[in-house]
Amino acid sequence: MKSLIVGFFSLFYQANMNHENMQGTGFAFLIRKAAALNGISLEVKKVFEQTAYFHTHPYLVNFIAGVWVKEFEQNGEEDFYKKTYSSAFGAFGDSFFWHSLRPLSFVIAAIAGLYNPWLGLAAYLVFYNSFHLIFRFSGYSIGYALGKEVIVFFNRIGFNRWPMYFDVASAFFFGILLSYLAKSCSDFDSVVLGILTVYVLTGMALAKKLDIVLGLVIIMILTGFFLFITGA
């Protein structure tokens, strides 16, 4: 139950994000709530200290809250592990949720959405948030149970490998999506197939060299001009 409550409060903890203390304000708010649930009333000074610079992945912050409360109860090094885990969970979260889960959720939703927009919408929100909410709502109890050794949990589930598996799945589903989009295009023929191949290869060649928005602007103008000339 405590984990669910902390999970709920963590939904709002980023609202004061800024370059001075990043999510520090939110962490102070969260930790005060979490400590109160464990019967600890934090001093004003201690809460004030928690507003200092802090930044991690928003879905994994509750693990840190759990570790912090456990260490605090045991007179351990709560602020030391807070800093260490904020970096580590930033790395984990960015790699999995931002880098890998979003493309896979998108491609699944896009395939589903081609059949029915409601299905696409539901597919994205359910698929993505099932991972997001599980981590968010179970984080506090796992962090509290394992304390400073919470990293063991992530090693046990092989979390650093998940992005790779999800990226491979995304590559496969992107293939399916492109095939479907191409086949469902009324003007599709061997010339269009050739052009699409050139387009994907051009995208691959320019990626990491040219900003995506600039690349997009250039390709839009060229494509418009190309379609205008060919009358497609």
Partner 1 sequence: MKKIIFRVDDRLIHGQVIEGWIKHFKINHIILVNDRVASNPLQKMIYSSTLPPGTEISVLTLDEFIASFRSDRYKKDYVLVILESVDDLYKIKNIISDDVYVNIGCVASREHKIEVSNTVFLNPEEINKVCEIREKHEVFIHKVAWEPSVEIKNFHNILEGNL
Partner 2 sequence: MNIALAVLYAGVISVDRFAAFNLMLSRPIVISFVLGLLFGNTIECFYVGIIFEAIGLVDVPFGTRIPKEDSFGAFAACCLLTLLPCDHLPQYILIFLLVLLMMYPVTMTLHITRSFNKALYVRQQKRGRIYPLRLLMLGMGFSFLRGVVFYSLGTYLVLQIYYLIHGHIDYHLNFYLFCLMIFVFLTGYILRFLSARTYFKYAVFMLGLLTGWVIL
Q: Return residues touching partner 1 (CB under 8 A).
A: 19-22, 52-53, 55, 57, 83-88, 90-95, 98-99, 148-149, 151, 154-155, 160-161, 163-164, 208, 211
Q: Least Å distance between CB 164 and partner 2?
A: 5
Q: Least Å distance between CB 11 and partner 1?
A: 20
Q: Which does 51 bind (CB under 5 to 8 A by kind): partner 2, partner 1, none?
A: partner 2
101 phi/psi in degrees, rounded to 5: -70, -35
Q: Cα(51)–Cα(24) distance, rounded to whole angstroms? A: 4
Task: Collapse the DSSP code of 208 into the 3-class scheme (helix H, G, I; strand E, B; otherwise coil) and give the result.
Answer: coil
Strands (E), 43-177: none
Nearer to partner 2, 51 or 84 (CB): 51
Tokens (6 digits) for 172 = 């496969």
Compute CA distances 231 → 31, 114, 206, 228, whole Å.
62, 27, 27, 5
Q: Which does 175 bind (CB under 5 to 8 A by kind): partner 1, partner 2, none?
A: partner 2
Q: Which does 88 bind (CB under 5 to 8 A by kind): partner 1, partner 2, none?
A: partner 1
Q: Cα(67)–Cα(95) distance, rounded to whole angstroms? A: 22
Task: Collapse the DSSP code of 54 into the 3-class scheme (helix H, G, I; strand E, B; otherwise coil) and give the result.
Answer: strand
Nearer to partner 1, 151 or 196 (CB): 151
Nearer to partner 1, 99 or 205 (CB): 99
Q: Which does 38 bind (CB under 5 to 8 A by kind): partner 1, partner 2, none?
A: none
Q: Which does 36 bind (CB under 5 to 8 A by kind): partner 1, partner 2, none?
A: none
Q: Least Å distance between CB 110 and partner 2?
A: 6
Asked whether 14 and 26 are in contact (CB, 8 A), the reply is yes
Nearer to partner 2, 47 or 146 (CB): 47
Q: What is the 3-state secondary structure (H, E, C) of 87-118?
A: HHHHHHHHHHHHHHHHHHHHHHHHHHHHHCHH
Q: Least Å distance between CB 3 and partner 1?
A: 22
Nearer to partner 1, 122 or 169 (CB): 169
Nearest to 50 by CA among 66, 30, 70, 36: 30
Nearer to partner 2, 152 or 178 (CB): 178
